Amino acid sequence: MNLVFVYGTLKRGFQNHSPYMDGLPFKGRHRTVEMFPLVTFGEWLTPCLMNDPGKGHRVWGELFEVPHDRLPAMDHLEECHLPDGYRRLTTHIEPEAGGEPFEAFVYLRAPHFVVDIRSAPVEEYHFDATYVAPALRYAIR
């Protein structure tokens, strides 16, 4: 099993949770130990955690246990195969209730690939009705 920290549309109740995270063990709310910019960007108002440590905020999200065979689908969603896609890296997080920090996977995108930023950095991504899930993007054009 892998620990994966999610901060955007993969969280419970969000658009991408069901197809990718259903049935996976939820380990609670956590936040990053280091500060990162969490913004929305682009035409689809996609939440993005930029790989620019030391800037932004300590970001709140959710932690899940993810088996190895589920990671490729998540990597595909996050476009890890593309040069400008996200990268699955590790960062230190800590539980909301307190405790020792530990490492978990997180999807980060290089700042120079985050164009058309639409929000200031936030501590936590909240539901945004204007976000369009990947499966619907080309159907509405």
Active site residues: 78
DSSP helix/strand/coil, 74: helix
Q: Is 1 exposed, middle or buried (0-12, 13-18, 19+ CB in 10 A)?
A: exposed
Whether 95 contacts 74, CB under 8 Å: no
Can you tell me the distance from the alpha carbon of 124 to that of 69, in angstroms, rounded to the nearest whole number? 28
